[in-house]
Chain A
Amino acid sequence: MKEILVVKDLKKTFHLSRKQQKIERTSSSLKVALNGLSFAANEGEIYGLLGPNGAGKTTTMRILATLIKADSGEASIDGISVRKNPEGIRKEIGFLTSDLKLEDFFTPTYLFNFFSDLHGVEPSLRDQRRKKLFGRFGIDRFAEVKVGDLSTGMKQKVSIAISIAHDPKFIIFDEPTNGLDVITAKSVTDFLIELKGEGKTIILSTHILSLVEKICDRIGIIFNGKMAVSGTLEEVTGGRPLDDIFFELYQKEGGEF
């Protein structure tokens, strides 16, 4: 199997403002988010990134999406360096995070076309993709309704459709089912499996262990900005329940309940 994502020794430290120090309850103005993180994902697989809050999952996702830069280390997607060629990376990836919002004033159709245009998708192909994705998520009926008037679940579906409007082969999903009801969450989960079936590589960050067990080919568990364990589900758990392994590692890393 070809390694499409390679992450080597990523380090990232954030400077905290006084306000952030108060929120984090720390006197230090520095926060180490990633401390030498390394892992790899193979082409056509779903790689699940697990870890408690503040472990460094979102930071990793944001570095891969070129929104922020690592202090040191290297990451590449399909041979393209995240640091050296961020614009090249943006053309190749689809990125979705719960932080990612759509403008309330516009309709799903308008936004889909807008982002497709920025990705350089030909109008005929764009309309074809829109029809397919809107149909898949049941967005058709709301295609001309302003995003601000849509339900949370429908907004998330529109966000997913837009994030892969350009048919990327590498997709980064940060907590894609966060805040969704059970039915919408299932619809999203099923869609991830469909994408894998189309040969896409997906990096998935989530808190939901059952989701990881269900759809991920390989997983990595991060604590304090470092990879604690990585491998196939079988290699990591040895047949035991994933949550047992997770909590054991959590305690070993000094975590408290």
Chain B
Amino acid sequence: MKDAWTILKKELKRYFTDPRMLITLILPGLIIFVFYSLMGNFLTSGLSASTDHDYAVYVTNEPSEISSRFVGGTYEITTTSVEDTEEAIAAAKAKVEDKTIDLYVHYEADFMTKVENYDVAQGGAAPQIEIYYDSASTNSSAIYQYYGAVLNAYETTIANKFDINSGSGYNLASESAQSATVLTMLMPEILIAFLFSGCLAVSAESIAGEKERGTITTLLVTPAKRRDIALGKVIALSLTSLFSSTASFIGLMGSINKLTGASVSFAIYGVGTYLAIFAVIVSTVLLFTMLLSLISAYAKTSREATQLAVPLMMLVLLGGVSSFSGSGASANLWLYLIPIYNSVQCFASLFSLSFNLGQLLITMGINLILVIGGLFVLEKMFDSERIMFNR
């Protein structure tokens, strides 16, 4: 064990005193924060139309009962009447297409009379309103949505028999429950991906790189037990990966409100939940580091190690998708015997505030068993001349 500690200290010194290495560890978190914040800003501003824009809308046969509903509305609209001829209609559509105007609305002739005479019970074709818009234009899409909403509201007032949830205050979910739903949907997938990428950045290169550079031979001729070499390396890599993953996690926490456009609070979770999340993170990082170390030991070069890690990455991402429904974690404890999937489900369980100790213990137990088994295999790999020296 003394040798494992000596190797652990050396590995940590390499990662944490080399400025270039340190930047590599912290940079993903910074990039995530900046990139996700910018992306959130971009998406929010890109999808919401400007209220300062003067919207140009061409109309044909627009009844005064309807046109009056747009006066003093959310958007400033300049309406221009177009004759009900084929040429004029085609010209108006062309203007929407070339983005000269934002919308063209065509009402049937005598629209209101037809509406008054229309009997739903008798069936037949209802009076038509055709709205032409350009989905590639943010302004055109926005005014199309708005115009449609005003028309729907008007239609409701014509034949209103009853209202459902008129006004607000009907959603009885607490703010914390709403935050939990958003976080349950997003965090497990993103967290598992960050944990894996943090481990991949550090572990894939580790042993394969030493084989490539010839430094592993120097270590293997010392009396240090192969088990101690494996243990020292895996713990050092896990701690380093944990540091990198934590930086990414903090970056994500800092940018999640911008990214989702919602007001999500991390304060809804107590200390116990955070400790449980941390425990799952540690056991998952240990598992990923172990698996990637085995791949790295098997590979002849760092490049080959990264290539061999791709199928594992696919499995991790696939496991992460299982949390996307946002409905929380699976209640079937047998499923927690499946590695990677169990970590994702545990995260889902913890983020959805439906913590289950059994799930946590099974997940940590399985991960720990796999890590111990992996250490045994890694020890054998260090002793195999075919794996260590066959280039």
Determine if chain A interacts with chain B: yes
A: residues with CB less than 8 A from B are 15, 17, 62, 65-69, 87, 90-91, 93, 95, 97, 99-103, 105-106, 110, 114-115, 117-120, 162
Please, which residues of chain A bring their CB within 8 A of the CB of B219?
A: 118
With contact pairs A67-B220, A97-B217, A101-B214 given, residues A117 and B6 touching in the complex (Cβ less than 8 Å): yes
B213 within 8 A of A: yes
Return the contact of B217 from the options A91, A99, A120 (Cβ within 8 A): A99
Please, which residues of chain B bring their CB within 8 A of the CB of A114?
A: 6, 10
B389, A95: Cβ atoms under 8 Å? no
B18 within 8 A of A: yes
B3 within 8 A of A: yes
B223, A118: Cβ atoms under 8 Å? yes
Cβ contacts B304-315/A at 8 Å (1 or 0 each): 000000000000
B6, A91: Cβ atoms under 8 Å? no
B390, A17: Cβ atoms under 8 Å? yes
Please, which residues of chain A bring their CB within 8 A of the CB of B220?
A: 67
Give CA–CA (A177, B7) in the complex, Å: 29
Which residues of B (1-39) have their CB < 8 Å from a CB of A?
3, 6-7, 10, 13-14, 18
With contact pairs A67-B385, A67-B389, A114-B6 given, residues A101 and B218 touching in the complex (Cβ less than 8 Å): yes
Q: What are the nearest 10 A-B pairs in CB distance?
A: A101-B214, A68-B385, A118-B222, A90-B223, A91-B223, A95-B221, A118-B224, A117-B6, A101-B215, A103-B215
Nearest chain A residue, comparing its CB with the CB of B226? A87
Some 15 contacts from A to B, beta carbons below 8 A apart, are A67-B217, A67-B221, A68-B385, A68-B389, A99-B217, A100-B214, A101-B214, A102-B218, A103-B215, A106-B10, A117-B3, A117-B6, A119-B222, A120-B223, A162-B218
Closest chain A CB from B24 CB (angstroms): 13
B214, A99: Cβ atoms under 8 Å? yes
Give CA–CA (A15, B6) in the complex, Å: 35
Q: How many residues of B contact A (CB 8 A)?
A: 24
B95 within 8 A of A: no
Return the contact of B14 from the options A66, A68, A95, A103 (Cβ within 8 A): A103
Give CA–CA (A102, B388) in the complex, Å: 17
Give CA–CA (A69, B14) in the complex, Å: 32
A67-B220, A99-B217, A114-B10 given. 4 additional CB < 8 A pairs?
A100-B221, A101-B215, A105-B14, A106-B13
Please, which residues of chain B bring their CB within 8 A of the CB of A101?
A: 213-215, 217-218
Give CA–CA (A15, B7) in the complex, Å: 32
B225 within 8 A of A: yes
Please, which residues of chain A bring their CB within 8 A of the CB of B3?
A: 117-118
Give CA–CA (A65, B220) in the complex, Å: 9
A115, B390: Cβ atoms under 8 Å? no
Give CA–CA (A176, B6) in the complex, Å: 28
Give CA–CA (A103, B10) in the complex, Å: 11
Give CA–CA (A15, B385) in the complex, Å: 12
A105, B385: Cβ atoms under 8 Å? no
Which residues of B (335-391) have their CB < 8 Å from a CB of A?
385-386, 388-390
With contact pairs A67-B385, A90-B222, A115-B222 given, residues A100 and B217 touching in the complex (Cβ less than 8 Å): yes
Please, which residues of chain A bring their CB within 8 A of the CB of B225?
A: 87
Give CA–CA (A30, B14) in the complex, Å: 40
B6, A118: Cβ atoms under 8 Å? yes
Nearest chain A residue, comparing its CB with the CB of B20? A105
With contact pairs A17-B390, A69-B385, A105-B14 given, residues A90 and B221 touching in the complex (Cβ less than 8 Å): yes
Please, which residues of chain B bring their CB within 8 A of the CB of A15?
A: 386
Closest chain A CB from B21 CB (angstroms): 8
With contact pairs A68-B385, A103-B215 given, residues A119 and B14 touching in the complex (Cβ less than 8 Å): no
Please, which residues of chain A bring their CB within 8 A of the CB of B14?
A: 103, 105-106
Give CA–CA (A90, B228) in the complex, Å: 15
Closest chain A CB from B315 CB (angstroms): 28
Please, which residues of chain B bring their CB within 8 A of the CB of A106?
A: 10, 13-14
Give CA–CA (A65, B223) in the complex, Å: 11
Please, which residues of chain A bring their CB within 8 A of the CB of B385?
A: 67-69
Give CA–CA (A68, B222) in the complex, Å: 14
Please, which residues of chain B bring their CB within 8 A of the CB of A120?
A: 223
Closest chain A CB from B297 CB (angstroms): 15
Give CA–CA (A67, B13) in the complex, Å: 27
Nearest chain A residue, comparing its CB with the CB of B220? A67
B222, A102: Cβ atoms under 8 Å? no
Please, which residues of chain A bring their CB within 8 A of the CB of B13?
A: 106, 110
Which residues of B (122-173) have their CB < 8 Å from a CB of A?
none
Closest chain A CB from B65 CB (angstroms): 79
Please, which residues of chain B bring their CB within 8 A of the CB of A69?
A: 385
Please, which residues of chain B bring their CB within 8 A of the CB of A95?
A: 221
Closest chain B CB from A12 CB (angstroms): 10
A65, B215: Cβ atoms under 8 Å? no
B18, A65: Cβ atoms under 8 Å? no
Give CA–CA (A91, B221) in the complex, Å: 9
